[in-house]
Amino acid sequence: MAARRNNPSGIVPIIQNIVSTVDLDCALDLNHIALHSRNSEFFPKRFSAVIMRIKDPKTTALIFASGKMVCTGAKNETQSKLAARKFARIIQKLGFPAKFRDFRIQNIVASCDVQFTIRLEKFACTSHGAFSTYEPELFPGLIYRMKQPKLVLLIFVSGKVVITGAKKRDDFYTAFDNIYSVLAEFKK
């Protein structure tokens, strides 16, 4: 993986969740899959996909009848791919000609702590106000929609920051670098 970014503070955001999709490239019989595997649930009235979980890596997959699959819960890009491959293997073992096409990471969620309390109202009033949404009545965190790279940060008074919407690890490293320099001005 890419080398750790040298942020002056030494804080590195930690990945909490990765959502990825892959195309198994064959039509699937969801009823058959649900009946012949122990770790899956399928309620067609509620949601038209099989929800399958595996223990290692601890992930959940939504498997659709068209053959497309969404894999969530991994903490690592390699783990996400490994988990998706495991799910595809299960589908293969059930008798479907599953392939592994177009594995793509769609979203990475990361969190970190800047170690100081932040004045959110001041932050929302400044020139960054165009990108921020701070409604204490609706949500206690400030929602910062960064344009470059295009992702969303949730900034809380305690100093915790959640970064979501990244497709690559570097994106959120850059985003955190950008936001850290700005946040330091609004230390309480």
12 or 125, CB closer to other proteins?
A: 125
Tokens of 141: 């965190």
Tokens of 15: 């990945």
Q: In the complex, which residues of this chain contact other proteins (CB under 8 A)?
A: 117, 120-121, 124-125, 130, 133-138, 140, 157-158, 188
Closest distance between other proteins and the C-beta of residue 116, in Å?
11
Closest distance between other proteins and the C-beta of residue 144, in Å?
14
- Asked if 93 and 2 count as a contact pair (C-beta separation under 8 A), the reply is no
120 or 153, CB closer to other proteins?
A: 120
Q: Find residue 62's DSSP bridge partners.
A: 51, 70
Residue 9 has φ and ψ, to the nearest 5°, of: -85, -20
149 or 159, CB closer to other proteins?
A: 159
6 or 148, CB closer to other proteins?
A: 148
Closest distance between other proteins and the C-beta of residue 139, in Å?
8
Spell 134-160 as b/e; 16+ CB within 10 A means b.
beeeeeebbbbebeebebbbbbbeebe
For residue 119, how many other CB atoms are within 10 A of its CB? 14
Closest distance between other proteins and the C-beta of residue 60, in Å?
26
